[in-house]
Amino acid sequence: MCACLRPLRVPQWLVRYVVRWRMVPVESLRGLLATEAATDPVSDRILAAAAELVGSQGDQQTTMAAIALKAGVGRATVFRRFGSKQEILDRALLQELRMLALALQQSASNAETAAAALNECFVLSMRAMRHRPLLRRLARLEPEKLIAFTRLRRPPVLALWRSMYTSIVEMFDTPGVDDAERAALADVLIHLTLGYSLVPESSIDLKDDEKLRRVAASVIKPVLGQ
Cβ pair 101, 166 in contact under 8 A: no
Query: Looking at residue 168, which CATH number applies to its domain?
Result: 1.10.357.10
Of the pLDDT bands very low, low, confident and very high (cuts 50, 70, 90), residue 226 is: confident
Position 176 in a domain: yes
Sign of CA dihedral 58, 60, 61, 65: positive
Position 46 in a domain: no
Position 211 in a domain: yes
pLDDT of residue 44: 87
Per-residue pLDDT reduced to its tens digit, 30-55: 777 766 544 578 988 999 999 999 99
**How many structural domains are present in the chain?**
1
pLDDT of residue 41: 87
pLDDT at 9 > cutoff 80: no
pTM of the model: 0.82
Q: Which domain holds residue 175?
A: 26-31+85-224
Per-residue pLDDT reduced to its tens digit, 177-206: 999 999 999 999 999 999 999 999 999 999
